[in-house]
Structure 1
Amino acid sequence: MNTTSSSASSSGTAYTGDEGCSCIDATETLSSLTDRSCTTTSGEVGILLTLCGPCAPLKYGSGACLQTFFFGTLHNDDGCNSLSKHFQSSLFQHDLLYDEDCYSQTNNGKPTLDESKTYCLRNWCFVDPTTCRKDSEERVYRSSYFGYSSDVDLFYSYSTCNSTEYDWMEYEKSNLHITKKILGGVSIQSAVAAYIPPIMYKRNSDGDTLDLKGMGDEYYDDAVPYEGIYANYIEEIIKISNGDIKNVTYTHGSRASRVIHPKSMYTATVQDVADGLVDMAVGPFWITGERLSLVSFTIPLIYDRVVLVIPKPGTKSTLAEEVYKVLEPFTWGTWSLVLGVIIFSALLSVWFSDRAALAKKRYGSDLRDKKTNRRRKRVYARLALDSFLQKGMYFFGAAVEQEKGASLSSNFLHFGFGFFILIVVSAYVANLAAFLTRATSSYIGTIEGAIAARQRICAHPALASELKVKHPDANFVFTGNGGYYGMIDDFNNGNCDMLAMGREESTTNLDLLNKLCDSNLVFTDGLILENAIAFPIRTELASGFSYWLNEGDKMHDISLRNAMDSFNFEKEVVQCNVELDEQTIETSEYDQIAPRNLFLPVILFLSCGIVAIALHVFHLYRVRQGKKSSIAGRVSMLLPSDEMLSMRKRIESDADSVDFPPLDHRTCDLKSRRSTDEHAISSFLDDESGNENGLGGDDSAADESASC
């Protein structure tokens, strides 16, 4: 295979890039990386392209698209003029000369060009990105050999050398050998903040799982291995790195850091990473502003939802709550509608009745003052109150009055009122039993509701800054120490009314879940804050380790969530159900009756009321026109003969007992209306008695009418 470039001129010079994006000399920049200095096979000073090699000369990638290589040994026996006799030079691609991955070993032990490594034959050089962006259209990339952590900025371009970067990009994406240059087979020491079975834990000498309460001397003994979800997850990441991550060992946090951060063992462990005591920390670490100011973090592993944890609804019930259940089948709007219908029906009944006779009979009072002839409001009010109470009793008894001799207007009114009572009482009774027997389920399940009710919320001190910024009006109580366990203790001691807890850690901590059961606490869906969980790590390792975390998720289906789902942990059974949505009964069983549900009975009642009003107005109009009676005003008589006679006597008695003042036009109207009703009854009774004329008992009424 031809390994020289066609760009080489006959004079042996190499192409230096397109105008506007020329190759630069990066020798001085590379020589500044003293921690990566090395000696090439030819004995000159070089630079390690990765932490593990290979060693390339400082002129690597500099000055031109191809690099000059000298064959033979230099001698100076005859002086400078004899050099041309003892060596020859040629131009080669930078990678072809110094990237050992471009070659494979043959049977005779000599390296042979690997024809699959097509990127080795592509021309490129280091360039100035500022100039290229401004003065050319060449594609420029930052060198992965000398990344951000190297404190130097080196950029390369294939297109300025009339070449393509496609082969290199494809090789970098698909071939795992190139990825070994990310971390270079690093060994990582990681600290663990605390025992949280099944997240991370140790076992005692008896093989029993240890939790936070069981942390003892074995926590500081690195010979005792860690187990758990996170340990298994890290092991899977190490496997797919193919040696780029040599191993991850676990150790304890320092006592000094826990003195500095007494409220959070996790923040104390982050401090250990910041102080350089360990390379990384493994566990469910929230990314917070305070922690980011100390160290870098990997990419997020999972997002933790911090939600409200509240007392289980129904575990406490006051007398007032039990009393209120009687009213719960209806909404307040429905109760207002019922009250309005009763009042409306009562007022119409007073209007339709013979108020003067009724007032005289019941209270011994006239509707008008005998001296001033003015209406007595007190008597009218008493009539209205009696009618309201009467209609209310009919409603509560689920029936209407069976008034003998009621007018047609009254019957229409009672017909509509009776249908309304039928529907409303049936709906109320159908729902009442369910509401009376259910547990009290009124609760605050959102942060907005907690703020409005001024509830005290116990929260983790590690999230203090984030919570205060997100919800400045909330009344958070940050526990002194102990994390979630300290928050539960504060709740039990009455220091707060509810808690703010992250679901990811707490729902996998079985001991913590049982603590919630003991305190009658349940999780809600009321989101307070969503926070990323990641590993705190040294800055120079953050990018490389994050690469493998992302590679595991995207290419190998290795994620923390899957590790949680697949972990087999011999665990005790949780004592109760800590989810609110499974504690409550479906809300459809407790839907309240709303006014719209009573549309039909209300419309029928109003229709009957309108018809009754129209009939009564028509009756009054006929009486004022001088008519003795009207079909609308006649009393409905569907009674046996003896009852009819009794009613006639009662009406006559009521009429005679009323002592009217000197007649005026209003009194005449009243007497005309009364005489009309008496005429209707008398006519019917006389017909039943055999009176041929059917006018018995009407003479006095006619006289009274005439006198008016």
Structure 2
Amino acid sequence: MRSMRVGALLRSVLGVCLFLPHLEGVHPGSPECPCIQPGSPLIAQAAEQFSIMGAPGYGTGGECRQYDKDLAFSGCAGATEVDCPGGDKCYCFEEWCYVDPSTCQMDKAKCLETGGTVGLDGNVYCRERDFEESSIIADRTGNTTAKAYFSYQTCGSLNTYDTKRVSEPVAGRHLKIKITSSYYWSFKGDVDPRSPQWNGWTGVLNKAMEDGFLRFSPAVSIVLDESWASETSRDKFSSSWTACVLDVAVGNADMCIGDFWITPQRMNLANFLTPFGNDNFYFVAPFAVSDETLGATLQKPFLPFTDGLWGVTFCFLIFSAFVMMVTDGHNMDDYENQNMVSKLFKSLYYSFAGYVGGGSANSPASVPGRLATVGFGFFVLITLASYTANLATILVTRGSATGLTSAQDAVDKGVTICIPGVVEAQLRSLFPSAVFELSTSTSGLPRLLWQGKCGAIIMGESGITNMHTGIYNEGDCGKVDDGTYSSDEEASCQRDGAGNPTSDRDCGLVKAGGLIMTVPLSVPVRNELVQSLSWAMRKTLSDGKVDTYKATFAQTLPPSACSGDGQSLQDALENPLESLRLPVTAMLGTTLISIGVMFLALLLSMAEIYTGKTIQQILGCSKEADIAFADDGQGAVKGTRRALIPSARAPSRRNLAVPGEDGGGVMGKQDRQRLAEMHRMLARLCGEEVKVEDFDVVEPKRGTKVMPLSTAGSNGISNGESNGESNGESNG
């Protein structure tokens, strides 16, 4: 026991000593697989040959370095790191060194003997690093007696130069491949003379796999099995896709080509390549246009803003009214009645009317009032723009036939949801209390819903796209034709007048709610092929070829028979702009509310006509000066409404306010009498009958705008001469 402890101590000291140079910027490799130090007999002959080749110290410096950088014989002369990672010359910048293979392998017996734990660091016998035999020495010199072993892994790098370790399992091999039609990933077409081995099969995956197979030398050959999953495997799994995964696991095939969902169940059966995409799952519910309640319709104009935001808007408008009253309340053009209560209500009117009208409803005369109008206008601009943007979306959002808005809503209401059986475990973890109806395939989900076995669906986005092209209905009708179902009703098959399957059966099934989950897509392969084919797939992905193939084959997909909201595209194809127009129901709520406000205005108008009074007079909150009626010689009469003079303040007598003789003060009594006499004379010249009391000059009130006497007189004479001349000429 004592000797074991001493051995473990020596090993630990050795590991520390090996790593001391690394602390000073030198990396000697990992403790369990250290770089061979210069002068070691293990690399003496190799070092001599490298000197002859013009690369002294190549890999023999006793530390991790970029030994290939700028080296001509390894193909790195002029190479740059611009294309790394992923480029063909990245190996030129990877660190490595020559190692002793006897120290790089795990020795479980010595690990335990020296007190170590298998798999943990700190003991060179308890972990291992990959190493490979160098082929450069024999290839360059023809001397096969010089052996040397190198390792990239001990330096924390990967060997991207020699791909022999990943190519050997598949290079020149015939792979047995099972294949089926699925979206644009793989489908049967005409035989391509450039790729006859695919027998007409093409698609994103076919092209990506073919590109990967050509990366090996010699290239990989394929043998297609178009029968898909074997009957034996189908007996064990209801899903033919999972059955094909089992075929790979038991050796019936080397690979199944298709966009497989990677699920825990399938990963327990076989390994998968590097994922090449994802499928997003959404909640899908039946769609209908006219099932909204009147309350929901009336509520829509108010939905763009939350209750809290409406509250903020209301408070801001009241605040704006107060600011208008304070900053511009003395403006006689907008506030004829200077009573404080009257100004407050007039300000509230200006504020709310301006917001609804999209701009200022008053005409401020003061600088503070105009500045307040700018602030009010900015608030109106931003809030109304936001309101309009949200309202456009809400108005075209109509209720579903089931009233379901999300998967959780369906779960809460106890609605059965149809789902693909292979993803039940994932969905069950998200919705533990949900009632699920399982389908063996995505294509069967709409059929189950139309058969009444569920009220909604959860399916992948690619399945939704396929569903809206009509191929699922076509498949259901095909099951009737081949005898799987006895009638169209049983298969939920929908046909047109000519007996052909329609393409818009499933247009009434649309997404509701947000993304539920994402499942990666990949291909199952035999265990011994995973590393090699995953390497090829990663290279193809990094080159961007998969994205290129997606863009190419997306153009071959059948067009959707449905518009964005699930309605048939038949009318939209005849008129492309039709789908952009809002239907009548979109503005129903707004129209009803506006009609309600106008109907109230009509009721108030009828009250004025019935009483012969204005609303202010009816409510008893008016002053004599507030109302200016035309002089029709009669008072208020029930059943009639007297015309209002346009001027807001029309005094019953012609009161005149003029400045005094000095041009600034109030004129004296004698001056007022002379001025009144002048007006009576002018009135007689115009042919008017006047009374003395008609012209009573009064002193101006504080704040009243007054007209200079000279201006008033000249205007009066000029008007009189003009009228007299025109009347004389016209009367002849």
TM-score bucket of the superposed structures, by smaller chain: 0.3 to 0.5
Radius of gyration: which is bigger? 1
Tell which has more relative contact order, 1 or 2 (C-alpha 8 A, sep 6+). 1
Q: Taking structure 1 as the reference length, what is the TM-score of the superposition?
A: 0.46
